[in-house]
Amino acid sequence: MRDTYTGGHVERVTDYALAVATLLGWNESSLEHLRYGAILHDIGKIHIRESALLKTSSLNNEEQEEMKRHPVIGAEMITDIPNLAGAVQIVRYHHEQWDGKGYPEGLSGKDIPEGARIVAVVDAFDAMTTDRPYSSALSLQEANEELLRCAGEQYDPGVISAFQRAWAEGEIQTISEAY
């Protein structure tokens, strides 16, 4: 309701995440947890000021710190809902990075839950390929190249490999075109 970008973003991120996890061999139960985690990954932004969410220029330090709190806020919002227990870690850790330079806790490598590593990749891809108030969209190809460039640093190389298989099969492009 606050941001027209978010609705389509949630749908694309969810579809991309499920496509990647399927190629990684996830079972139905795990896919369902991932579905909820992908849908809710940015729910904590409900507590972020609109002026920061919709800002057309760079965020100042205070706004950056506010924005960095959304994964923890989101995880806290759903932590006591039994049916969403499998989504909590995805929501909380989807901004962690393979090299440990992410947030909120600076986790690295396989210490980051795999669902969060998947959502990190597809969330970034969707953000890069969508016009935002502060940046123009990259082409799908340019965004894919950026993911490849950051594999092993920002992103889990195994997740990037699965994303590349989905890319080669045309699944990523089909999802993008559906919205």
Q: Which amino acid is at 97?
A: Q
- Please give the average per-residue pLDDT across 68-73, as a whole number: 97
Q: Residue 1: its pLDDT value, please?
A: 52
SS3 1: coil
* Residue 51 pLDDT greater than 90, yes or no: no
Residue 52, pLDDT score: 87
DSSP three-state, residue 130: coil
pLDDT beyond 60 at 5: no
pLDDT in tens, 142-154: 999 999 999 999 9
Residues of the chain with pLDDT > 90: what percent?
Answer: 86
- The residue behind tokens 């597809």 is 122
If one counts every other C-beta atom within 10 angstroms of the C-beta of residue 101, the result is 11
For residues 71 and 93, the answer to whether their CB atoms sit within 8 Å is yes
Crossing angle of the two packed helices 140-150 and 171-178, in degrees rounded to 10: 130
Main-chain phi, psi angles of 106, to 5 degrees: 70, 30
pLDDT band for position 54 (50/70/90)?
confident
Q: Report pLDDT digits (tens) over 28-40.
A: 999 999 999 999 9
Q: What is the pTM of this model?
A: 0.95
- The mean per-residue pLDDT over the stretch 128-132 comes to 88
8 vs 126, more confident: 126
Number of domains in the chain: 1
Beta-carbon-side half-sphere exposure of residue 169 (alpha carbons within 13 Å): 13
Work out the number of other CB atoms within 10 angstroms of the CB of residue 53.
Answer: 20
77: domain range? 4-178
Rounded to whole angstroms, how far apart are CA atoms 57 and 52?
Answer: 10
For residue 179, the model assigns a pLDDT of 86
pLDDT greater than 60 at residue 4: no
pLDDT tens string 77-127: 999 999 999 999 999 999 999 999 999 999 999 999 999 999 999 999 999
Q: Supply φ then ψ for residue 121, to 5 degrees.
A: -70, -50
Rounded to an integer, what distance in angstroms lies between the CA atom of residue 138 and that of residue 74?
A: 28
**Tokens describing residue 172:** 């990523």
Mean pLDDT over 7-15 rounds to: 91
C-alpha count within 13 angstroms, C-beta hemisphere, residue 132? 19
CATH of the domain at 67: 1.10.3210.10
- Give the mean pLDDT of the chain: 94
Which structure tokens are listed for 144? Answer: 């894919």
